[in-house]
Amino acid sequence: MNDVTREQAWALLCEYTQGESLRKHGLAVETVMRAFARRDGADADRWGITGLLHDFDYERWPQVPDHPLRGGEILKERAFPEDIRRAILGHANHTGVPRDTPMARALYSVDELSGFVTAVALVRPSRSIHEVEVSSVKKKLKDKAFARGVNREEVAQGILELGVDADAHIQFVIEALRGNAEGLGLAGTAR
């Protein structure tokens, strides 16, 4: 399956992931990965599919080392392209799969951060990504009690591996998510 479609990827995500929040996380990472690919002149569909599927196995096998190794096995059985499988395996440090492509480094750098920025948006009174600023994300990153499940070390390591300015990277993620605010449920509503 050299040419996987977005529809096939979505069907696989839905087959293994029932929870709306984890599906939305996949959609958020897909959104940011597509933005990265467009900016860098890469294949937006391929990068987007990689983002969409990166945690498709997490609901069934959330424990280390199962995630994402179980998912990697499923992707291999279903003949998904090697670069997509390797990027997904590489987004978890414990797999030992190097992040040796721009797509793999981008996935690692946006996974935790996309979830974190989403959480920042959802605690705003408006629940809108349009009100999230870099400064508010950085402030919340220092608050260890906020979004405890987000690995701050991986956020920092992802930025380091990309070799970009932290503020610029956070702003890029915010802007990318703003571009799909409606689809991600981040356009804002009154509580």
The answer to whether the beta carbons of residues 84 and 51 sit under 8 Å apart is no
Q: What is the mean pLDDT of the chain?
A: 95
pLDDT tens digits, residue range 101-155?
999 999 999 999 999 999 999 999 999 999 999 999 999 999 999 999 999 999 9
Is residue 29 pLDDT above 90, yes or no? yes
Q: What pLDDT, on the 0 to 100 scale, is given for residue 35? A: 98
Is residue 1 pLDDT above 80, yes or no? no
> Shortest CA distance to 179 belongs to which of 21, 35, 25, 52?
35
The answer to whether the beta carbons of residues 108 and 161 sit under 8 Å apart is yes
pLDDT tens digits, residue range 62-81?
999 999 999 999 999 999 99
Is residue 190 pLDDT above 80, yes or no? no
Residues 6+ apart with CB under 8 A from 31: 48, 51, 114, 176, 177, 179, 180, 183, 184
Residues 6+ apart with CB under 8 A from 74: 12, 16, 57
Helix (H) or strand (E) holding 20: helix 20-40
Q: What pLDDT, on the 0 to 100 scale, is given for residue 191? A: 46
pLDDT (mean) for 94-98: 96
Is residue 2 pLDDT above 80, yes or no? no
Domains delineated in the chain: 6-184 (1.10.3210)
SS3 186: coil
Is residue 98 pLDDT above 70, yes or no? yes
